[in-house]
Structures are given as C-alpha cells and as structure tokens.
Amino acid sequence: MAREGLTINPAKTCQPIGAMYAALGIHGCLPHSHGSQGCCSYHRSTLTRHYKEPVMAATSSFTEGASVFGGQANLLQAIETIFTVYDPDIIAVHSTCLSETIGDDLQQITKKAKDDGKIPEGKYVIYASTPSFVGSHITGYANMVTGMAEQFSVSTGEKKEQINIIAGWMEPSDMREIKRLSKEMGVKIVLFPDTSDVLDAPQTGKHELYPKGGVTVSELQSSGDSICSLALGCISAEPAAIALEKKHKVPFETLDMPIGLSATDRFVMSLSKAAGVAVPAEITAERGRLVDVMADMEQYFHGKKVALFGDPDHLIPLTEFLLDLNMKPVHIVSGTPGQRFDKRMQEILERAPYANFKNGLNADMFLLHQWIKNEPVDLLIGNTYGKYIARDEDIPFIRFGFPILDRIGHSYFPNVGYSGSLRLVEKILSALMDRQDRTCLEEKFELVM
C-alpha cells in the first residue's frame, strides 16, 4: 500500500510523555504538563500501565480562554498551586502541541514566576520544550534531560572526582544496574535521570508522592564539575552531554546503550578509562559467564531471522547483539526520526546488508507487518503492540521497550550490562525453544538440548 499521509499503528508516541518520564527521575520532582487535561491524563495512564505504579503529574488544564489569550496565567497559577499543595522540591514543566502553537514561552514564564516570587526559596522550576508535532517520545525525553543538565548544573571551578552518566531512555532496573556496575568498579558517578526507587517502589502501605529515588538537585548541580560525561544513547542522552560541554566544558563520550556484549564492553572500557580504574575481576567474570552461555548455545541462534521495532537507543545495540549472536536482524522499524540514528544504524548494518531498516514518518507497525509478510521471521522483538503481528503470523515474541502493558519484569530485571544481556539470551532462547517444542514433528521432539 502506497502511503503519503497517514500513520497506521504507530511505532512511537509524542514528546511530552518522554519529558514526563525523565522528570520522574529527579528526586522530589512533580512533572507538569502545560496543555490540556487529556495530555497529562493519557501520559499518566500509559506510564501507570507500563510500571503498575502511581504516576504523579500536574496539568495546566487549558481551556478555550487560555488557548486564545495564552497559557501564561494558567502556568503561573499552576506553579503557585503546586508549591502550596503538593510541595515538591522541583516542578519540571514540559510543553505540548497546544501551548507551543499558541506561542507560550516556558523560559519567559518561569522567569516571571521567579520574579513574581512564586517559586519559594530553595525550590526550582525547570522546563523543556516538547511539542508533539516534532520528534517522538524519545526526543521529548532527551529534551527534558537536556533541560536538567542545562538548568541545574553549575561549575565551581573545582573538578570533582566523579563521572556523569547520562541515561538514555531505559528502565529503572537498567539504571539500578548501571549504578551497581559503577559501584563494583569503584567509580563515583552522577546518574541522571534515575527512576529506580521511583517507578519500582516497594509496597509500604503508603502512597508516597515523592518516593525515595531520583537524582538529587545537588547531584545535578555538581554535574558541571564532573571529570567527564558518558552519554548512553546517541538520541536520548547525547544532547544533555553536549549541553554540559557547552556550558561547563565537561568533555563527553557518546556510547551506545550497554545492551549486549559489545556495547557493554565499550561501556565498561570507557568507564574504566575515564575514571582511571581497572576492571575488577567480578565484572570480568560476569562477562565470562555471558560469553560462556553464548558459546554453549551458539548452534541455536545462527541464521535465525529477527524483526525488531522500537526506540533508537535500544535498537542500535540490540541489532548489534543479535549479529554477535549470529542471528539475522532482517526488519527494523522505529517511528523516531533522526539522522544521527540513521547513521549509527547504517554502521551497525554493514554486517547485515540484507536488512530492511526505516525510521521516522510512516515507519510504523503496518510497514513492519508488510515486511514480515514478504519475508517471514523466526522472532519478533518490541513493545506490547507487537502482539498483534506475533499472533497473526504466529511468531515467537519477546517484549522489549516502551510501552509494555501486558507483562511485568522490565521494571525489575535489567537489559543492560552483562547480566542484562544474559537475561536477553535466556529470553531469546526460551522463545525459540518453546516454539520448537510446541510445534515440531514428533520425531524431532527432543528431551536434551
């Protein structure tokens, strides 16, 4: 089907939800949606369905009047209300298609709030511009993370023995794993944002408005004094690293998100080099266990065709890992646009010249389905919305990315690092072998693998 206009079954969503997710990774922060009530409600519902956790965010509740006269009064009132009643340390405001189109300038309005004394002493309002008609949820996330870096960081002129790790869009479990690896290596890091202990909070019998997790204001402020930044993801994390370099000359390196063996190797090596520490034996052993399993099971992977869809910073290292496993990533789709993404993907796909890859406009689930019909695959990897294709075409399916509305686990078990990669290997193998056991001929039905 030739298409000019429309998107059928999107492989992305809009910027504001990314900004909301990122802001939840600051301790004591209440995200604020400057737009209609529905936006905020939809984002909270989607994040709640993904995390099975309460998700708090406020809205400017635009009305027809605000849309004619501008939303300044709404936002000023919102700031006052929020600090009076919900008492956060920080309000992280993001815009929407509505407020952007009527021309609200968040920088100017937050400045006015400050000048008018609406921001109490020791409290902060940060902002990010996230119109829904640009980019995707991923770029919205990047914009808010950049906002954190730009608007909080200060430099005292004195370097701190610490490294900024800027998390691309990953799960709380992944952030927890990055912190664990860094600790294991004895490296002091400032990880931001950090949604662990926010969106994977324990059952306490209380509803905490501000759970204990999240990067703190003082940590964010200190990021201007760090030795360097490692940005985990060229789309969702790099813009914040660039901002820190511009503002405080903090050098940075952009890495792929450490999913899979090679990308984790690069992360561990970069962290070790930047901090001047050796890789400890325990991490080498973790790596060894992953390689061991990859070797033990190599015969089951090779030549297996995979279709995958989702977000740039996941797809890049995931594709590389599939190639390292000797699998064939044949169809790759992402609704998120970006030349940087294109370029990095082309590099990875030099080893897979057969692969179909499309991102940006009209790169949606309808296209992916067409591709799969033309060239069937053995495995599908992507968010919950892949389940229609998986069912229609009877393909083993692994859930990965955002949103996952029908399974749990992503909040608790990481995909990053060697242990996360090992989990991925287990998932891939189980999906393939379960399928074989269920459908193979009687004489091929084997007890021992």
Partner 1 sequence: MDTQNISLLEGREKQVYEKRQGGAEVDIACDTTSLSGSVSQRACVFCGSRVVLYPVADAIHIVHGPIGCAAYTWDIRGAVSSGPELHRLSFSTDLQEMDVIYGGEKKLYRSLIELIDQYQPNAAFIYSTCIIGLIGDDIDAVCKKVAKEKGIPVMPVHSEGFKGTKKDGYKAACSALMTLIGTGSTEGISKYSINILGEFNLAGEAWIIREYYERMGIEVVATMTGDGRIDAIRRSHGASLNVVQCSGSMTSLAKDMEEKYGIPFIRVSYFGFEDMSKSLYDVAQLFPDRPEIMEKAKEIVRDEIRQYYPEMQKFKAALTGKKAAIYVGGAFKTFSLIKALRTIGMSVVLAGSQTGNKDDYSRLKEMCDEGTVIVDDSNPVELSKFILEKEADLLIGGVKERPIAFKLGVGFCDHNHERKIPLAGFVGMYNFAKEVYESVMSPVWQFAPRKGGLK
State which of positions 200-239 bind partner 1 (CB under 8 A): 201, 203-210
**122 binds partner 1, rule: CB under 8 A:** no
Given the rule CB under 8 A, which of 197-205, 372-380, 409-417, 439-447 is the region that contacts partner 1? 197-205
Among positions 134, 279, 429, 433, the unique one binding partner 1 when judged by CB under 8 A = 134
- By CB under 8 A, the residues from 349 to 378 that bind partner 1 are 361
Cis peptide before 31 (omega within 30 of 0): no
Nearer Cβ to partner 1 (206/444): 206
Which string of x and - marks every residue 308-337 that binds partner 1 (by CB under 8 A)?
Answer: ---------------------------x--
- Report which of 165, 150, 167 is spatially closest to residue 224, judged by C-alpha positions: 150
The first and second tokens of residue 358, run together, are 């499309």
43 binds partner 1, rule: CB under 8 A: yes
Q: Does 339 bind partner 1 (CB under 8 A)?
A: no
Q: Give Rg (Cα) of the chain.
A: 22
The minimum distance between CB 18 and partner 1, in angstroms, equals 11
Q: Number of residues in contact with partner 1, rule: CB under 8 A?
A: 82
At 383, give phi and psi (nearest 5°).
-75, 180
- Find the binding residues for partner 1 in span 14-33 (CB under 8 A): 14-17, 30, 32
Q: How far is the CB of 212 from partner 1 (least distance, A)?
A: 12
State the nearest-atom distance from the C-beta of 32 to partner 1, in Å.
Answer: 7
Residue 112: CB minimum distance to partner 1, A:
15
Q: In this complex, which beta carbon is closest to partner 1, that of residue 131 or of residue 312?
A: 131
Query: Between 15 and 236, whose beta carbon lies closer to partner 1?
Result: 15
Minimum CB separation of residue 224 from partner 1 in Å reads 29
Which residues are CB-neighbours of 279 under 8 A, at least 6 positions away?
Answer: 185, 268, 269, 272
**317 cis-preceded (ω within 30 degrees of 0):** no
Residue 52 or 289 having the CB closest to partner 1 = 52
* SS3 per-residue string spanning 109-168: HHHHHHHCCCCCCCCEEEEECCCCCCCCHHHHHHHHHHHHHHHHCCCCCCCEEEEEEEEC
| Interacting residues of 411 by C-beta distance below 8 A, sequence separation 6+ | 51, 52, 53, 171, 172, 173, 199, 200
Tell me the window of 127-135, 217-225, 269-277, 422-430 that interacts with partner 1 (CB under 8 A): 127-135
What the block records as the tokens of 74 is 């709404």
Q: Which is nearer to partner 1, 168 or 403 (CB)?
A: 403
Q: Does the protein bind partner 1 through residue 1 (CB under 8 A)?
A: yes
Using left for φ > 0, alpha for ψ between -120 and 50, and beta otherwise, residue 157 falls in left
Of 95, 110, 129, 136, the one binding partner 1 (CB under 8 A) is: 136
Question: Nearest distance from residue 109's CB to partner 1, in Å?
Answer: 12
Least distance in angstroms from the C-beta of 37 to partner 1: 5
Q: Which of 20, 90, 92, 98 binds partner 1 (CB under 8 A)?
A: 98
C-beta atoms surrounding 9 within 10 Å: 14
Phi, psi angles (nearest 5°) of residue 80: -65, -50
CA distance 322 to 428: 10
48 makes contact with partner 1 (CB under 8 A): yes
Asked if 52 touches partner 1 (CB under 8 A), the answer is: yes
Q: 328 in the Ramachandran plot: left (φ > 0), alpha (ψ -120 to 50) or beta?
A: beta
Dihedral angle sign, alpha carbons of residues 68, 73, 79, 85: negative
> What would the x/- binding string for partner 1 be over residues 144 to 173, using CB under 8 A?
------------------------------
Decide: helix, strand or coil at residue 398. strand
* Closest CB 398 distance from partner 1, rounded Å: 20
Binding mask 56-95 toward partner 1 (x if CB under 8 A, else -) reads xxxxxxxxx-xx------xx-xxxxxx-xxxx--------
Stretch that binds partner 1, among 4-12, 148-156, 290-298, 324-332 (CB under 8 A): 4-12
Q: How many whole angstroms separate alpha carbon 144 and alpha carbon 129? A: 8
Question: Minimum Å distance from CB 332 to partner 1?
Answer: 19
- From first CA to last CA, the distance across the chain in angstroms is 43
